[in-house]
A and B are shown apart, each in its own frame.
Chain A
Amino acid sequence: MSTEKTSILILDDEPIVSKRLKPSLEKKGYEVETFTRSADALKRVEERRFNIVVTDLKMEGVDGMQFLSEVKEKYPETEVIVITGFATMATAKESYNKGVFDFLAKPFKLGEISEVIAKAEAKIKRLKR
């Protein structure tokens, strides 16, 4: 097993999401960076690669869909997890078409997102080998 930590970027314009998720994931041994503005998050992904990106879809400024498209384009191997309060079949479908790993409708339980992240991590590790 590699000792390197799995890195996660979280983007949601509602600060409570990051506030709640960050410590919870850090406790589980992940390296976590959080953003509430998509412009800042975009800038950050220009600078470095994250193993996993968790993003909301509907936000002010850059649309989450656009953000995830850019991430997938730049780093196809990064797994993207979409979390959204406005879940519709159409948005779910569109995100899967863009290669999103999984789709969670808000509100969700901490355990649910941890599980999805663990699965994404397992997939990344499997592909590395």
Chain B
Amino acid sequence: MRNLLQQLGQFFMKKEQSSVPFKVLFADFKKSLELNNKILDIIGDANDKLSGDYIFDEHYIHSICGRLTDLLRELIVTINHLTSQKYPELFSSFHKIEEDLEVILQGKVLSQNVALTLPYSEISRDHIDAVGGKNCHIAEIGSHLGLEIPRGFAISTAAFRAFWKKGNIDEKVTQILEQWHAEEIGVTEASSQIQTLILKTPLPDELEKAILAATAKIVGKKKSTVPCFAVRSSALGEDGVSSFAGQYQSCLSIPPSEIPQAYKLVVASLYGEQAMEYRLKKDFRPEEIMMAVACQLMVPAKASGVMYSYDPLRPEAETIIINSAWGLGEPIVSGEVPTDHFVLERRAPHETVEMQIVRKDESMVLTGCGALNSEPVLDEKRTKPSLKARQLRELAETGLILERYFKAPQDVEFAVDQSDKIILLQSRQLQLHFERQPRACDLSGIDGTYQALMRGKGIAAMEGIASGPVWIQHAGRNLDDFPMGAILVARHASPQLAKVIHKAAGFITDIGSTTGHLATVAREFRVPALFNTEDGTKVLQEGSEITMDVECLTIYEGLVPELHHYSLQEEPIEEMYEYRLLRRVLRKIEPLNLIDPESDTFTPRNCRTYHDITRFIHEKAVETIIDISFYHAHHRDTQAGQLLWEYPLDLILIDVGGGIEGEHEQGIRAEQISSIPMQEMLRGMSWPGIWDMTPAKVDLNSFMSSLTRTVPTRNSRPEDVGRNLAIISSEYTNINFRLGYHFTVIDAYISENILDNHIYFRFSGGVTDTARRSRRLKLLGTILSHYDFLCELHGDTVVARLKRMDRKSMLKRLFLLGLLVAFTRQLDVKMINDTRIEQYFKEIQTIMEESNVN
């Protein structure tokens, strides 16, 4: 590397026409690439930590944020240096993200940064602190699990804060509470004073408007019927261990215009006597006392009920309990009316083992807004079961889906609408009462009781315990036939397996990476996943029941209730604060929103994450170097020109010393290139045999034009031409390809001195479907590792490094990269199934052998 810089130095000392020597620009460019690589590596590593297989602490999260922030700042300074301060706006995007991260790291962000109201479609798991458990869970059930929920929205804790500020409720409440704590007034007096204060204070205009707007949006699509809402509490901690069940107010059958008033009623119930005393006993901190509110369109229910996914008093019985009656659910939940009682087996197909049908004389019906009446049940329905056998089975299946997703037994409220559809109204954790609490230390004995089919093999893509029958995915088997609650066993962790994520209890694969698409999805949906078991598909038998314990890398024969019961009691790790925090910070770091450099939105202002900034800068760095050295020829001293090749690859070459020979006014011919690494790359890219291996006949030229866009004239504007750039010297090559939506960066220095030799290769993504993209990455990973590269796969990126090999071996591998660059681009359409990976791998090996002979 030092050689190269010396070369550059000498080169530019001779020619000093330009204001900024290319040497300086090139140093900036190199630096931006190095920073870019470092940043993407840290981001990839951080996502890996979410698998549950790592022990990390808050310090780690702070430290990666700190490192990323430093690197990003340096990167922005660098690009501005390179471009003579062309992108100062990057700093403001950057500072915005940096500030958000700061707030998130303090553990605060969510409730402060959210809107006053949030529709259910926009709520995700990490909004729990902003919208409360009830809202958050029901929204997740709708958006994540795709189950039926009522339309609705949340009034956030930000709204609560805004209300609290108005008219100084905050201070006055504190005063009243102090009087109560000092026993100057009783709890009844304190509660009544606070509630009166809340009801008397008008809502801030902004909040009232927001509530009415959110309501109108929900109602908008349902003009035919008179819409009315249920307005309920969704307080922080309400769904968790601290049980406030039944302490807060619910307002039913509320017309849209009265929702703001109902909101106040619900919020006032935060200071009901019972709730106040409960909080005092549990030592709640003032900042924890907040209420979000749920507003849901009411379902004119034919029948309603409650389901427990486990019998809370006899969990060992492995049954599901359902209680239901005709009409709306309110009197059922509060135990005011007799209900039908069903007991089903937890194990599919969920046979009904017990059924008690009671006489149901009355039911609550919704006859219009504000009209909620108890009415006599039709005679012929009084002694009929309120749920059909089909509905019972569907409920049982739903219960297990919810339980798998929330990683705990569930207490579910549901309604059956007029078209017999089951709609979920609420789902929360159910406390079980085991005769003996399952404890981790008791589990050390299970190895003697249960037979392990596999042990110590594989890597944890997602932690957890799962049991179910084995379903082996083999070629041609239709994933649509995958049964609910089975464990999917497959050769590869292919992304298309994610299709059964709602049904699968777990995933086991022979081959697979913890950073691939399926692993990410498994984490998102919390489905235990064990990859790389080598021979899971051979050892495990179709249809046999197994229990997988990912943490211990063990698969047991049959069901292991001890493990399962234990896992139900354990706090799910991904619910721990550190996991939530890491997910929150990653949302400001990882997503890539800027994909298309040609689009109008590809601007500094639109950079919303660190990844966006990094991506933007890389694009602009390459563009700038091409622009300065080629189009504007500020540096007549640099030898810059377009490659004239038999294939129309829009490649700009910049020679910084001994990389090109002879005259090149009209462009550079391949045989003029004297840069050894570049020669080898091009030899690989133009290897004749490589095209013959495609299953379909492909015309070479048409293929190459799909590989790059062909805008051959030198006179066209820079933005019309591809951004393919190679900076070369006799021993060095730095290549930046943007082919369609893929990015390839290759940096190679190859000399006689083994210690200086290196190759860096980064290939990323594109916007094709994830299945094919991931197969392509897998193929690249397999090939590169085979040829001694140190390989990392993160999401849709492969990074491969190679150092310190002799010249001949390095060149052989550059030839390989040439093959891969051309080949993988075309593979997009060809990677139709996993068997292609092994097939292409073999064919590449054959070419490598042939090329060596020549």
Query: In the bound complex, do residue B54 and residue A110 qualify as a contact, i.e. CB atoms below 8 Å apart?
Result: yes
In the complex, A24 Cα to B57 Cα: how many Å? 17
Query: In the bound complex, do residue B54 and residue A107 qualify as a contact, i.e. CB atoms below 8 Å apart?
Result: yes
12 residue pairs of the A-B complex, CB under 8 angstroms, read A14-B578, A16-B55, A16-B576, A17-B57, A20-B55, A22-B440, A23-B570, A24-B440, A24-B551, A106-B55, A107-B57, A110-B53
- Between B58, B460, B551, B576, the greatest number of chain A beta carbons within 10 A of the residue's beta carbon is seen for B551
For the complex of A and B, list the 9 residue pairs with the smallest distance between their C-beta atoms, beginning with the closest: A29-B444, A107-B56, A26-B440, A14-B57, A23-B440, A26-B441, A85-B59, A27-B443, A107-B54
582-598 of chain B: CB within 8 A of chain A: none
In the complex, A84 Cα to B551 Cα: how many Å? 22
A residues less than 8 Å from B690 (CB atoms): none
Interface size class of A (residues with CB under 8 A): 20 to 34
Chain A residue with Cβ nearest B567 = A23
Asked whether A106 and B57 contact (CB < 8 A) given A16-B576, A27-B552, the answer is yes
User: How many Cβ-Cβ contacts under 8 Å join chain A to chain B?
Assistant: 72
B residues less than 8 Å from A79 (CB atoms): none
B residues less than 8 Å from A24 (CB atoms): 440, 551
In the complex, A12 Cα to B570 Cα: how many Å? 20
68-108 of chain A: CB within 8 A of chain B: 83, 85-86, 106-108
Chain B residue with Cβ nearest A83 = B55
Asked whether A28 and B54 contact (CB < 8 A) given A16-B576, A85-B60, the answer is no
- Between A16, A24, A30, the greatest number of chain B beta carbons within 10 A of the residue's beta carbon is seen for A16
Residue B108 is within 8 A (CB to CB) of chain A in the complex: no
In the complex, A107 Cα to B440 Cα: how many Å? 23
B residues less than 8 Å from A27 (CB atoms): 440-441, 443-444, 551-552
A residues less than 8 Å from B59 (CB atoms): 14, 85-86, 106
In the complex, A85 Cα to B576 Cα: how many Å? 19
A residues less than 8 Å from B443 (CB atoms): 26-27
- B55's partner among A29, A30, A31, A107 (CB-CB below 8 A) is A107
Chain A residue with Cβ nearest B578 = A16
**What is the interface size of chain B, counting residues whose CB is below 8 A from a CB of the partner?**
25
Residue A113 is within 8 A (CB to CB) of chain B in the complex: yes
Q: Encode B558-594 as 1/0 by CB contact (under 8 A) with A.
A: 0000000000001101001110000000000000000
Query: In the bound complex, do residue A17 and residue B55 qualify as a contact, i.e. CB atoms below 8 Å apart?
Result: yes
Residue A21 is within 8 A (CB to CB) of chain B in the complex: yes
In the complex, A83 Cα to B60 Cα: how many Å? 13
B67 to A: closest C-beta gap in Å? 13
Query: In the bound complex, do residue B53 and residue A85 qualify as a contact, i.e. CB atoms below 8 Å apart?
Result: no
Residue A111 is within 8 A (CB to CB) of chain B in the complex: yes
B792 to A: closest C-beta gap in Å? 16
* Sample of 19 more A-B contacts, CB < 8 Å, known A28-B552, A108-B54, A113-B55: A16-B55, A21-B55, A22-B440, A26-B441, A27-B441, A27-B443, A27-B551, A29-B441, A31-B441, A85-B60, A85-B63, A106-B57, A106-B60, A107-B49, A107-B54, A107-B55, A107-B56, A107-B60, A110-B460
Residue B499 is within 8 A (CB to CB) of chain A in the complex: no
A residues less than 8 Å from B49 (CB atoms): 107
A residues less than 8 Å from B553 (CB atoms): 111
B residues less than 8 Å from A43 (CB atoms): none
A28 to B: closest C-beta gap in Å? 6
In the complex, A14 Cα to B578 Cα: how many Å? 10
Residue B439 is within 8 A (CB to CB) of chain A in the complex: yes
630-678 of chain B: CB within 8 A of chain A: none
- B444's partner among A19, A26, A85, A113 (CB-CB below 8 A) is A26
A116 to B: closest C-beta gap in Å? 12
In the complex, A86 Cα to B63 Cα: how many Å? 10
- B57's partner among A16, A22, A23 (CB-CB below 8 A) is A16
Query: In the bound complex, do residue A28 and residue B444 qualify as a contact, i.e. CB atoms below 8 Å apart?
Result: yes
In the complex, A27 Cα to B549 Cα: how many Å? 11
Chain A residue with Cβ nearest B571 = A19
Residue A109 is within 8 A (CB to CB) of chain B in the complex: yes
Query: In the bound complex, do residue B57 and residue A12 qualify as a contact, i.e. CB atoms below 8 Å apart?
Result: yes
B371 to A: closest C-beta gap in Å? 51
A residues less than 8 Å from B60 (CB atoms): 85, 106-107
A residues less than 8 Å from B444 (CB atoms): 26-30
B residues less than 8 Å from A19 (CB atoms): 571, 576
In the complex, A45 Cα to B603 Cα: how many Å? 60
1-59 of chain A: CB within 8 A of chain B: 12, 14, 16-17, 19-24, 26-31
Q: Encode B495-527 as 1/0 by CB contact (under 8 A) with A.
A: 000000000000000000000000000000000
B residues less than 8 Å from A26 (CB atoms): 439-441, 443-444
- Between B53, B55, B443, B577, the greatest number of chain A beta carbons within 10 A of the residue's beta carbon is seen for B55
Query: In the bound complex, do residue A109 and residue B441 qualify as a contact, i.e. CB atoms below 8 Å apart?
Result: no
A residues less than 8 Å from B570 (CB atoms): 23
A113 to B: closest C-beta gap in Å? 7
A residues less than 8 Å from B571 (CB atoms): 19
In the complex, A38 Cα to B38 Cα: how many Å? 36
In the complex, A79 Cα to B63 Cα: how many Å? 29
In the complex, A125 Cα to B560 Cα: how many Å? 31
B58 to A: closest C-beta gap in Å? 6
In the complex, A106 Cα to B59 Cα: how many Å? 9
A52 to B: closest C-beta gap in Å? 16
In the complex, A34 Cα to B551 Cα: how many Å? 20
In the complex, A16 Cα to B577 Cα: how many Å? 8
- Between B54, B57, B63, B551, the greatest number of chain A beta carbons within 10 A of the residue's beta carbon is seen for B57
Chain A residue with Cβ nearest B456 = A111
B241 to A: closest C-beta gap in Å? 15
In the complex, A110 Cα to B53 Cα: how many Å? 6
Query: In the bound complex, do residue A109 and residue B58 qualify as a contact, i.e. CB atoms below 8 Å apart?
Result: no
In the complex, A67 Cα to B577 Cα: how many Å? 27
A8 to B: closest C-beta gap in Å? 12
In the complex, A109 Cα to B571 Cα: how many Å? 19
A residues less than 8 Å from B53 (CB atoms): 109-111
- Between B49, B570, B578, the greatest number of chain A beta carbons within 10 A of the residue's beta carbon is seen for B578
Chain A residue with Cβ nearest B48 = A107
A residues less than 8 Å from B573 (CB atoms): 20
Chain A residue with Cβ nearest B51 = A109
175-210 of chain B: CB within 8 A of chain A: none
Query: In the bound complex, do residue A108 and residue B55 qualify as a contact, i.e. CB atoms below 8 Å apart?
Result: yes
Chain B residue with Cβ nearest A23 = B440
A residues less than 8 Å from B56 (CB atoms): 16, 106-107
B residues less than 8 Å from A107 (CB atoms): 49, 54-57, 60
In the complex, A26 Cα to B58 Cα: how many Å? 24
Chain B residue with Cβ nearest A110 = B53
- Between A21, A23, A83, the greatest number of chain B beta carbons within 10 A of the residue's beta carbon is seen for A23
In the complex, A110 Cα to B55 Cα: how many Å? 7
In the complex, A21 Cα to B440 Cα: how many Å? 11
B residues less than 8 Å from A20 (CB atoms): 55, 573, 576
Q: Encode B26-67 as 1/0 by CB contact (under 8 A) with A.
A: 000000000000000000000001000111111110010000
Asked whether A110 and B551 contact (CB < 8 A) given A14-B57, A85-B63, the answer is yes
B residues less than 8 Å from A113 (CB atoms): 55
B residues less than 8 Å from A23 (CB atoms): 440, 570
B459 to A: closest C-beta gap in Å? 9
In the complex, A66 Cα to B389 Cα: how many Å? 67
417-457 of chain B: CB within 8 A of chain A: 439-441, 443-444
In the complex, A22 Cα to B443 Cα: how many Å? 13
A residues less than 8 Å from B55 (CB atoms): 16-17, 20-21, 83, 106-110, 113
B497 to A: closest C-beta gap in Å? 24
A108 to B: closest C-beta gap in Å? 6
B residues less than 8 Å from A29 (CB atoms): 441, 444
A residues less than 8 Å from B441 (CB atoms): 26-27, 29, 31
In the complex, A22 Cα to B553 Cα: how many Å? 17
Q: Encode B529-571 as 1/0 by CB contact (under 8 A) with A.
A: 0000000000000000000000111000000000000000011
- B54's partner among A30, A31, A85, A109 (CB-CB below 8 A) is A109
In the complex, A106 Cα to B45 Cα: how many Å? 13
